[in-house]
Chains A and B, each alone.
Chain A
Amino acid sequence: MLAAILALAALAAFFGVLLGYSAIRFRVEGDPIADQIDSLLPQTQCGQCGHPGCRPYAEALAKGEEEINKCLPGGEALVLALADLLGREPVAMDIKEKVPSVAFIDPELCIGCTRCIQACPVDAIIGAAKQLHAVLNSECTGCELCVEPCPVACIEMRPIREDIQRWRWPYPARQPVASDIAAPLRDAA
């Protein structure tokens, strides 16, 4: 009896050491899962997921420490993609998706303090000290990080106007009634 317990304990200890050693010895540089997750995230860098940017959220997800529905800009499509990648169950978004917007700096009010430039994670604001600042619409990700730091509150988020290039056909409203499985041959005649 005692021998058996000792033998098992010894085995457990041996494998524990072996596993621990190989974890250190064969450690993969970087984290491929985190990279894959990061490539799915919208890179808005807005921090709305509760992390200081997309990469940290990706790392938290890779470690399994986070829910997959925290990224607002990514929306439902991202939840589905993450569920697919991580083999998790899709979860509903906790908050409503927001309309895509870009920042707008009121040229009348801007005092050129450069604080928004420092806040912008993607360098979408151009301007120098004491000069009027402006937002590069094509680069702005709509993260809203520049809104808060402005001392004269001259930055607002404006929804991107829908245009023909960005327009998409809607998902058909006329959904088939009844289940598609085991359908009755009602109309086939």
Chain B
Amino acid sequence: MAIALKPKSTSQRRLWRFHGGIHIPDEKALSNERAIERPPLAERLWVPLQQHIGAPGRPLVAVGDHVLKGQMIAEPTGFISAPVHAPTSGRVVAIEPHPVPHPSGLSAPCALIEPDGLETWAELPPPLADYPQLDPALIRERIRWAGVVGMGGASFPTSVKLTPGTDREIQTLIINGAECEPYITCDDRLMRERAAHILEGVRIMHHLLRVRTVLIGIEDNKPEAIAAMQLALAETDMGGYTEIVPIPTLYPSGGEKQLIRILTGKEVPTSGIPAQIGIVCQNVGTAAAVADAVLEGKPLIARVVTVTGRAIAAPRNLEVPVGTPIEHLIAQCGGYREAPRKLVCGGPMMGFELRESATPITKATNCVLALAPEEAPDPGPALACIRCGRCAEVCPTRLLPQQMYWNARAKDLDRVQDYNLFDCIECGCCAQVCPSHIPLVQYYRYAKTEIWAREQEKRKSEQARARHAAKQARLERQEQEKQARLRKQKEALAAPKSTDSGEDPKQALIAAARERAAARRTSDTGSA
């Protein structure tokens, strides 16, 4: 397995190969020739108030407020959380649910901002150009303030990933410039055009993590990007610990665990994270956003998005504010050349279909793909699994896709987990090669969300059981107290009976009353 591949470039680094993977037409030429463009602002921006994995943010603005560019409009509510900033100056005309980029096509709270066109910046924090002398906590706080999240698609808050645990040391920082999915070229263009800026971000992350080595992995179908990065690196003093590593083009080499394997030969443990083996992985776009935050004091409010596919008149990369509706992006690329068969958010392998073109882009949206009918042919009816085993041959995580399929299809959610379902990265290699066109990944996604939902239900019913038991116990206690009260009253009544034995309580009461009356009479006569 550990056969060193001879890279085409001059790099002498030994590379490893991950299991499986597939070669698919990369379709990058559609969009990678033009430079990144900044189109005019859309008329309305729908800014989702949660654009990260973790605790949702708390809105800081109200309808009618005027906001400035870069002003925080939602603050983080937990450690794993991130703020959202206004992408331009203007007025908040609504805060309401709007479709967001999510496979469900459902809506989530968004701030609808009508730009005033002035692009007036809010007061920004000072640049931290002298960061090597500063407390790392201060720099991390800045990155957190800027709302930087993983821009390769996972949208995990970056400041959290840059906070190494005290128990383990991070030795290697891997910068992911592989961009292995077909069609997508935003990282390619970013590396070609802003290599120096990316390296600034890398230097900051290197400082924060105190790693020994930084490896920047780029697939060798992007020679211009590799050259640009190498050129930029030569002009810095980072050469001592940084290396640009061209890697063979093989989907999905940009998967976090796959890239780690290629560059270091190490395997991330099952259901573990790279930090466990001393590695942190960051995307090139994220590095650029970190540089913006630390060196310019700018929050993450815009990103480069690839707008491509053969249904688009003039595919290209656009740098647009977060919240820009996808239909605006498509209009800026000359609109549709023909009616698309499918509108996809992300790439053709791991992306999901968009139902509404009014959906805005978020910090994690790297590609909008409008596929023409010839690019997305109807897969036809799925046929029976012929147990050919090809799916297992190509699975980059060495799973048994066929077995997972059988169990997911039978809705056997326990058995399917025995096959490490949660290690599946949903790369789609298995479904791509399946001769029976079985939508394998759909089964895995179904099984994963179903298992989560059941766990949640289970927690909820535990809670209900506890509350029910508590109520039962309380009722019982109240009943006992009531009984105790009654008993006491009875005892109090029965008390005279024990002294005047033989008489019944009524008689005793009457006798007592008579005595009292007699006593009163005597005292009355006495006083008279």
Contacts and interface: CB of A to CB of B under 8 A. Distances in A.
Contacts of A122: 464, 467-468, 471
B66 interface: no
Interface stretch (A5-13, A23-31, A103-111, A181-189): A181-189
A139 B383 contact: no
A158 B89 CA distance: 39
Size bin of chain B's contact surface: 35 or more
Nearest to B385: A180
A172 interface: yes
B439 A174 contact: yes
A65 interface: no
A164 B106 contact: yes
Q: Which of B384, B438, B442, B457 has the most CB of A within 10 A?
A: B384
Interface in A114-132: 120-124
B386 interface: yes
Contact of B385 (A43, A44, A53, A183): A183
A168 interface: yes
B388 A188 contact: yes
Contact of A172 (B446, B457, B471): B446
A184 B384 CA distance: 8
A164 B102 contact: yes
Contacts of B14: none
A172 B468 contact: no
Contacts of A120: 471
Given A171-B446, A176-B383, A188-B386, A163 B108 contact: yes
B104 A183 contact: no
B370 to A, nearest CB: 23
B453 interface: yes
A45 B470 CA distance: 13
Contact of B384 (A45, A139, A180): A180
Contacts of A187: 383, 435-437
Interface in B434-465: 435-439, 442-443, 445-446, 448-450, 452-454, 456-457, 460-465
A41 B461 contact: yes
A186 B467 contact: no
A179 interface: yes
Given A122-B467, A123-B470, A168-B449, A174 B106 contact: no
Contacts of B450: 168-169
A145 B369 CA distance: 50
B384 A168 contact: no
A85 B282 CA distance: 46
A69 interface: no
A176 B382 contact: yes
B441 to A, nearest CB: 9
Nearest to A179: B384
Nearest to A38: B465
Contact of B462 (A43, A163, A170, A172): A43
Nearest to B434: A187
B33 to A, nearest CB: 36
A178 B436 CA distance: 11
B382 A177 contact: yes
Contact of A176 (B100, B384, B464, B468): B384
B272 interface: no
A98 interface: no
13 contacts: A38-B465, A42-B457, A43-B468, A121-B468, A122-B468, A122-B471, A123-B467, A162-B106, A164-B108, A171-B446, A172-B446, A174-B439, A180-B406
Which 3 A-B residue pairings sit nearest by Cβ, starting from the closest?
A183-B384, A168-B449, A43-B464
Interface of B: 100, 102-104, 106, 108, 379, 381-386, 388, 406, 411, 435-439, 442-443, 445-446, 448-450, 452-454, 456-457, 460-465, 467-468, 470-471
Given A43-B464, A124-B467, A164-B106, 4 more contacts: A122-B467, A163-B106, A174-B442, A183-B386
